[in-house]
Structures are given as C-alpha cells and as structure tokens.
Amino acid sequence: MDFNQIISDLKNKIYKPIYFLSGDEPYFIDLITKYIHDNVLSDAEKSFNQTVLYGKEAEIHTVINTAKRFPMMANYQVVIVKEAQNIKKIEDLIHYAENPLNSTLLVINYKYKTLDKRKKLYKAIQQKGVLFESKKLYENEVTSWINAYLKNRNRTIDPSAGMLLTEYLGTDLSKTANELDKLIITLPDGEFNITTNHIERNIGISKDYNNFELHKALTQKNVLKANRIVNYFSHNQKDNPFTLTISTLYHFYSKVLTYHFVKNKNDKRNVAATLKVNPYFVGDYEKAARNYNPKKTVEVISLLREYDLKSKGYQNVSTSHGELLKELVYKILH
C-alpha cells in the first residue's frame, strides 16, 4: 500500500491488525503512526487500550503478549512499537502475524531498515496486514512534494523559491514540512503564494547569495555576480559549507552534460523528464549548454572532483575552503 491509500483507509475506519512501517524516510512512518495514535481511539478509550513500547526496551515476546490482549470497553486496542529496528529476533513476530487479533492494531515502526521479502514474516504480514516501505525522495522529487504539500493547504510557491528551499534543506521532509508550516503562518493576510522574499525574511536563507544563484551566475558567465557570491560564501562558511556547494555544482553540471545528449531538445517536457527537473528550469540548462560545450562540461566535472579531494586534504595542506572555492570558480569561468 502507498501512503495515501493507508491514510484514506484509516479515515474510513478500515483497519488492519498489523501495520509494519519500514524504510529510510521517517516522515511518512511518523505521519501514519500519529494518525493511528490520535484518531482510532477516543480519549476515554486510550487510557486502557493504547500502549506505546520502545524497541530498545521491549522484547519480542512482550510485543506479542501485549498485542494478544483484548480491548477493555472499546472495539479496538492500539499497540505502537517505536524503534522496532532495535528489537532482537523480530522474525519471531511470525508467531503472532500468522493469526493476529482483529481487535488489535499493532503498529511497528521499523525505521531505516526493511524486512527480507523472502522471510515468512513478510509474507504473513502481506496477507493479514499492511506493509509500507517509506523511501527517501530524490532531490528532484522534493519540489513536487513541496507543491503537493502546499496545495493541500491552499497555498502555492514560486518554482525558484521551491528550488531554494530544497537546496537549503535537502531531502529531509520533516524539516521541510516544519519550515513550510512556518512560512504559511507568516504569510500576510490575503497572500497565498510563497516567494524567495518570504523565505529570506522568515527562514534566513539569502535569496541573492546561495548555490542556486551561483549556478545562474556561472550559467550566464557573469563573473562579477559569481565573485560576489563566492566572497559571501567565504565569509559565511558555516551557512554555506564548501561540501554542499561542490555537491550542488556537480549535480548541476552532470545535468548540463546530460542535456547535451538529449535527442529531442525542442520538446521541453521531454527534456525536463530526462533531466528530472521542473520544466520551469529547462531554460537554465539550455543557457548553460550554450556556454559550456560537452568538452568544457566534462572539464568542469573533473575540476569539481579535484577540488572536492583538495577540500579533504588531498594535495592541499593549508588552503582554506573559501580560497579553494575562489580558485574553482575562476577555473570554471575561464
């Protein structure tokens, strides 16, 4: 089952005896768990029928015995097991999973791991309950997720603002959701669209001095703007770490190289799908490709690898990250 189907079923009071929630993205696991925790039982029912166990403390037989209890003065009991990835012999849950109680909702938070699909436990839960694998989003998927998140709250965001937020927060959906909620609260009455100005004012990300703007300056071969950004980064290295800048530049120029070999460049949607970017940004890659032919693009990618190693001390004893970035940008532009 996917996330939306699980939440839809829960809202319609279609319950399963086991919810095994696994995977590398804790955000969706936490949302499903919170919904069950908050909504299946009334406040009066929770005192006798809702139990939260922790994998670092609970043995598997404790989980099974708790799940086997019948509810008191309620139709269901809810048993939530957090940090279940720390439980030893999780496979022994098979003794319950093959014949679970329909009056129990057993919720297993198995974060940063997944069940072996060849095991009996996986097959038993697949038959009787819900198996959900929460996968990390790729960076190019986060902006779409941001748009969907805001749409559900009757808000929108400029593509450049979404990209800026993604660049700053990465793929951490919990952090991104928190920042979006802050932005929604701080939007003036009558405003429903989030811009880079809102982000700069309320989150503290500079709309003029960031990796996204550096990419644009390099794309346009705007030496003055690129140097201003690099100087800003040099004086604010804590907020603009060299490793993040290198990583985003590598990501950008890899897509520029891919763009050179896209067959049908006239079809903007085809280009966007191949590069895995919002169609709004296709023009940036077109401009970059004009200024960086395939040979130069490969040279830039080689430079990025070289300076990544230098930043880690390889053939570099004393040059600071700020100076390394200045050298790197100079070589990219010339």
Q: Please list the pLDDT of the chain residue by residue as tens digits (334 residues).
A: 899 999 999 999 999 999 999 999 999 999 999 999 999 999 999 999 999 999 999 999 999 999 999 999 999 999 999 999 999 999 999 999 999 999 999 999 999 999 999 999 999 999 999 999 999 988 778 988 999 999 999 999 999 899 888 888 888 899 999 999 999 999 988 899 999 999 988 887 888 889 989 999 999 999 999 999 999 999 988 888 999 899 999 999 999 999 999 988 989 889 998 998 888 889 999 999 999 999 999 999 999 999 999 999 888 878 899 999 999 999 999 9
Pair 28, 1: CB distance under 8 Å = no
- Could you tell me the residue ranges of all domains in the chain? 3-134, 139-203, 211-333
- The string of DSSP codes covering 287-325 is HHHHHS-HHHHHHHHHHHHHHHHHHTTTT-SS--HHHHH
> How is domain 211-333 classified at the architecture level of CATH?
Up-down Bundle (1.20)
pTM of the full structure: 0.77
Q: Which two tokens stand for residue 107?
A: 């919720």
Q: Which residues lie closer than 8 Å to 272 by C-beta, 6 or more apart?
A: 278, 279, 281, 282
Homologous superfamily assigned to 3-134: P-loop containing nucleotide triphosphate hydrolases (3.40.50.300)
Where would I find the beta strands (DSSP E) of the chain?
Answer: 18-23, 50-54, 77-82, 104-111, 130-134, 156-157, 193-194
Amino acid in the structure at residue 8: S
DSSP code for 182: H
Q: Which residues lie closer than 8 Å to 158 by C-beta, 6 or more apart?
A: 193, 194, 195, 196
Q: 3-state DSSP call for residue 267?
A: coil
- 139-203: which CATH topology? Helicase, Ruva Protein; domain 3 (1.10.8)
